[in-house]
Amino acid sequence: MGELRVWAPDGMPEVRAGDDLVVLVGAALAADGAAHPGHALVDGDVVVVTSKVVSKAEGRAVAADDREQAITDETVRVVATRSHAQGVTRIVENRLGLVMAAAGVDASNTPDGAHRVLLFVVPGLAWRDLDGKDGKALPHLRRLTGQSAVANLSSRAPKLRSDLASGYVTLGAGNKAVGVGPTDDGSGLQPDGAAFEAGEAVGGQPAGAVFGRRTGRPTDRGLVHLGIAETIGANRDSSFGAEVGALGDSLADAGWSRAVIANGDGTDIELANEAADRRHRT
């Protein structure tokens, strides 16, 4: 049976105008192959480079305020348009003969981007809640998304369910990942709603102590996720190769601070072996 493997090399720097992509990509691939022998290139391998990084190396960047004009400048003909809460999206044929949204022009990964990012996650939100076509749009969310980048995340895969835990883990891993159901230690703990500050009470005990008992790593500060051991184990055994928490680790390595603001999923957490009145709302 044939095998298809896809990976991205570590260590690719920010690409700037005038950079030699062949040199940069070659160096990144060589270093990645040395660090991970299974990633060393062999005859028949295919190296994929995105059009975005090519355009950056060519210096094809414009100020964010000129994006709409840049789309017009790249357009040969308009194929279709779609109106939505954020404005109008044009599907066009560009000067290279490619048909794509906004002529392939976007404002991501720009050098003058924001230095603070708020990731606002809304499980179960549908596009219809934003576009207002059924008369049920949410006005506050529409105003928020009108000034934001909007994405839809689905963790569906053949024979795998799509659920809240899998969505959060996938987001943090940057790769298809799997969540887990209730833990198997008799506590009835639901991993997708089991994150606490270390000092918060869970079943009459500090969450840090419960975390230490479950993982062997007690702590008295920061956030702890009481279902992390099961989640890491589930992904270690999966075929997707997801690294749980890769996003947070990458941000930490780059010197970015991280914070979690609120957790409003309304889930009641109770440890089954504690008194029934020991309840905690996350």
| Chain segment 161-206, per-residue pLDDT in tens | 667 778 888 888 888 888 775 555 555 556 555 678 888 887 788 8
Q: Looking at residue 23, what is its pLDDT? A: 93
Residue 205 dihedral angles phi and psi, to the nearest 5° = -130, 155
- List the chain domain ranges: 1-61, 62-106, 153-281
What is the torsion angle, in degrees rounded to the nearest 10, for the CA atoms of residue 205, residue 230, residue 170 and residue 46?
150
Q: Looking at residue 267, what is its pLDDT? A: 44
Percentage of residues in the chain with pLDDT exceeding 70? 74
Q: Looking at residue 63, what is its pLDDT? A: 65
> Which of 62-71, 92-101, 126-135, 270-279 is the most confident on average?
92-101
More confident residue, 209 or 241: 209
